[in-house]
Amino acid sequence: MRPSGLDADYDLAYEHFDVMHFLLQARQMQSSDTVDPLEVFLGNGVDAKASPEINFNMKSYLARYPEKATGPERSPYLEWLKRGRAAGEIADPAPGLEKMAPVLGLEPRELAAELARVCKPGGVVCLMEPGVRRLRRPHDVVTHAARRFSRREMAALITGSGLQLVRSTGAYTFLVPPAAAMAVLRRGQSASDIDQHEGGLGGLLGGLARAERAVLRHVGLPFGLSVLAVGRKPGQPSAR
């Protein structure tokens, strides 16, 4: 890391840069004592693969705000730190219960209950978490996923919060076999599925996802790489 005071942009990024989080994804840099991880990240600009901290993912940020790819800063991360964060721009997928609960000093079931409490009568609460409990793997470490849930556990979070269970289902079921294979092949490694097969295997994954969505319109699935549950708060919406 370079001395402070030489580059204001570098100093700003350094305040938020999580070097261990970054190196868990950039395995090729773990054995180097001479390369500055932050300089590498900033230098890669929009092409940066590894995320600098838990709250920012380059791919997710640019998917939501593609204009940031051609902004005035050398890295969209700097744009987010300087202006986007204060403007409420989302730079990472919404954190799940296991990620958010500790931040608020709550247990996951307590956070689910709080979501139910603030929900208006007639409103819905949707919870989505990583699924298939036996599939915990290096990807979960990189993405800070504390645990995986079963469909039954997600449904219990809804009903235990006083909500009426509308639906619980697995999702991305077609990704379970390759994820299971990756869990075996990468056992003992620090690696993530992030940015793997960005082209969707020639459109195959997109086609499978569309087919699954068609099935989900009619029935729920017993498991999936993600599991979700939807609950409705009893009562009628208040008239405005």
**1 inside domain:** no
Instruction: Give Dmax over CA atoms of the chain in angstroms.
Output: 64
Say whether both 122 and 181 belong to one domain: yes
Say whether both 117 and 26 belong to one domain: no
Question: Side chain identity at 31, as an amino acid letter?
Answer: S
Handedness of CA 74, 77, 82, 87 (dihedral sign): positive
Quote the pLDDT of residue 160.
96
Residues 193, 130: contact at Cβ < 8 Å? no
Say whether both 125 and 21 belong to one domain: no
Name the domain count of the chain. 2
**150 inside domain:** yes
Say whether both 208 and 158 belong to one domain: yes
Q: CB under 8 Å, gap of 24 or more: what pairs does 149-153 form? A: 149/227, 150/223, 150/227, 151/220, 151/222, 151/223, 151/227, 151/229
**17 inside domain:** yes
**90 inside domain:** no
Quote the pLDDT of residue 207.
79
Q: Is the pTM of this model over 0.75?
A: no
**148 inside domain:** yes
- Three-state DSSP class for 24? helix
Q: Residues 201, 204, 210, CA angle at the centre, nearest 5°?
A: 135
Say whether both 123 and 166 belong to one domain: yes
Say whether both 28 and 104 belong to one domain: no
Q: pLDDT (tens digit, 0 to 9) for every residue of the chain, 240 residues total?
A: 677 788 999 999 999 999 888 888 887 777 777 889 999 999 999 999 888 988 898 988 887 888 898 888 999 999 999 998 888 787 876 667 877 777 677 888 999 999 999 999 999 999 988 888 777 655 555 444 557 889 999 999 999 999 999 999 999 898 888 878 876 766 655 444 444 444 444 557 677 888 998 999 999 999 998 899 999 999 887 665
Say whether both 128 and 13 belong to one domain: no
Select from 84, 106, 137 the last residue of a domain.
84
Quote the pLDDT of residue 31.
73
Select from 63, 84, 105 the last residue of a domain.
84
Say whether both 154 and 36 belong to one domain: no
Residues near 33 by Cβ (< 8 Å), separated by ≥ 6? none
Sheet containing strand 124-130, edge to edge, reads: 124-130, 226-232, 164-171
**169 inside domain:** yes
Say whether both 36 and 101 belong to one domain: no
Say whether both 125 and 224 belong to one domain: yes
**107 inside domain:** yes
Select from 84, 113, 143 the last residue of a domain.
84
Say whether both 13 and 111 belong to one domain: no
Residue 21 domain boundaries: 8-84
Backbone φ, ψ for residue 39 (5° rounding): -65, -40
Question: How far is the CA of 96 from the CAs of 66, 83, 121, 217, 228, in angstroms?
Answer: 25, 25, 23, 24, 11
Say whether both 79 and 101 belong to one domain: no
d(CA 58, CA 92): 8
d(CA 133, CA 123): 29
**92 inside domain:** no
Closest CA to 42 of 50, 32, 30, 34: 50
